Chains A and B, each alone.
Chain A
Amino acid sequence: MAVSLAAVGAGLAVIGAGIGIGKIGGSATEAMARQPEFAGKIQGAMLIAAGMVEGAALLAIIVAILEIFV
């Protein structure tokens, strides 16, 4: 069984992204349920935060890709 550490690292990074974005989505929908009149602003903030978390996870993916080529 050939284990490529790069692939394992990339998979772990996606776990982090999944947990992060799941929490953001959860609290965003809860806040929207409490105050429906602010749904637009909460959605905007949720998308920005999701973009940040994905950026952090993709940093790890880039390191994994670098390990293949260098």
Chain B
Amino acid sequence: MKNFFLKSIALLILLVFSSNLTASEGGGQSNSEEKNVNIGELIGHHTSDSHDYIIEIPFFHYTLHLPVILWTDKGLSVFSSGKFQGDNEGKVVVTDKKGNRFVKIHEVIYYADKVKDTHHPNVFDFDSRPLDFSFTRNALAILFVFILLIVIIHFTRKAYNNPHKLPRGIAGFIEPVILFIRDEIAIPNIGPKKYEKYMPYLLSVFFFILLSNLIGLIPFAPFGHNITGNIMVTFVLALFTFILTTIGGNKHYWKHIFNPPVPYILKPIMVVVEVLGMFIKPFALMVRLFANMFAGHTSLISLVALIFIFGSVLVAPVSGLFYVFISFIKILVVFLQAYIFTILSALFIGLAVEEHEEHEHRTA
């Protein structure tokens, strides 16, 4: 019985990962007017954020146009992204009620009058862009992760309703994870007296990163969104850790940063290093998670794009096998990155809040 269960799980994972080869065929066919498929554009299209929510399973194609919410000089401007009519090259100009004119180039919205070069626009030229608060595809995907988490936690909670029965169901998967986070991550790093205040944050971060990464692995809709591969998402997560360490830091923490216990000659250098370290540690958290997830998605898409580069159908089985193999490695990377983010956050928080009772400063 157990053998059959394990085999069916393995077959399910194999089918799920191979289904990406059919899902991206649609993207390839839309480019096949030009003989050269632009790989950079394909990768960019599949990994970056977009204003439309495209559902593309075999025999079913639907595009949901998400609202575009912009803050311009003349005030708030809200319209559906369908007005751009699927244009990504800056040719369709949308005029809203207040008279602003917008174009969309590579999924970024600019003022039509101020964009200088419609083929290579400068994303960092902030005068030519309104403030973009749109509800994009990544926002919808994060909402989906949120709903998924609520469902999982609801069923976990229900398993403990009856105190005389053992918990059944999904609680069997979730409870060991929560205990692992409490016993191996929170208590050793933050200490047995203060860890309870930070457990909600650590649990939320771990499950959010884990679910977002896992959703990026499954190719078909409503999964398959690249959430943590977006540097703004990981920036916000690292910002939360930074805020927690800064607010929770007690006197010893600040004393060590601004008055480190070193000989006087080294003090100026060490203060600079410590202050820089205060910012670089969350920055490293952000880049580590972003780079791992983005590199994983890019390598998977490049494997499928190999079929289009070679233009021969014989590459397909090789490419498909590599795809499944690398997907298995990515499962390991996904769990590892969620675990590393959580344990490093716990470590930084623990460094900030720990008390030094018997601490000896070495003198010279």
Contact = CB atoms under 8 A, between A and B. Distances in A.
Interface of A: 47-48, 50-52, 54-55, 58-59, 61-62
Contacts of B295: 58, 61
Given A54-B292, A55-B292, A58-B292, A48 B287 contact: no
Interface of B: 284, 287-288, 290-292, 294-295, 336-337, 339-340, 343
A58 B287 contact: yes
A66 to B, nearest CB: 11
Contact of A51 (B287, B294, B337): B337
A59 B288 CA distance: 7
B289 to A, nearest CB: 8
Given A54-B288, A61-B291, 12 more contacts: A48-B339, A50-B336, A51-B336, A52-B340, A54-B292, A55-B284, A55-B287, A58-B287, A58-B291, A59-B284, A59-B291, A61-B295
A50 B292 CA distance: 12
A54 B290 CA distance: 12
Contacts of A62: 287, 290-291, 294
Contacts of B288: 51, 54-55, 58-59
Nearest to A52: B340
A48 B291 contact: no
Indicate the member of A47, A51, A59, A61 with the most B CB atoms within 10 Å.
A51
Contacts of B336: 47, 50-51
Indicate the member of A55, A59, A62 with the most B CB atoms within 10 Å.
A55
A23 to B, nearest CB: 18
A54 B281 CA distance: 16
Indicate the member of B288, B291, B294, B343 with the most A CB atoms within 10 Å.
B291
Contacts of B290: 62
Nearest to A44: B184
A51 B291 contact: no
Nearest to B298: A65
21 contacts: A47-B336, A48-B339, A48-B343, A51-B288, A51-B336, A52-B340, A54-B288, A54-B292, A55-B284, A55-B292, A55-B340, A58-B288, A58-B291, A58-B292, A58-B295, A59-B287, A59-B288, A61-B291, A61-B295, A62-B287, A62-B291
A54 B295 CA distance: 11
A48 B292 contact: no
A62 B289 CA distance: 12
B179 to A, nearest CB: 16
Contacts of A52: 340
Closest 7 CB pairs of A and B: A58-B291, A55-B288, A51-B340, A62-B291, A51-B336, A59-B287, A47-B336
Contacts of A59: 284, 287-288, 291
A47 B292 CA distance: 15
A64 B290 CA distance: 15
Contacts of B294: 62
A55 B337 CA distance: 10
Contacts of A48: 339-340, 343
Nearest to A57: B291
Nearest to B122: A70
Nearest to B40: A68
B305 to A, nearest CB: 16
A48 B291 CA distance: 16
A58 B287 CA distance: 8
A61 B339 CA distance: 22
A55 B291 contact: yes
Contacts of B339: 48
Contacts of A51: 288, 336-337, 340
A48 B340 CA distance: 7
A54 B336 CA distance: 11
A52 B339 CA distance: 12
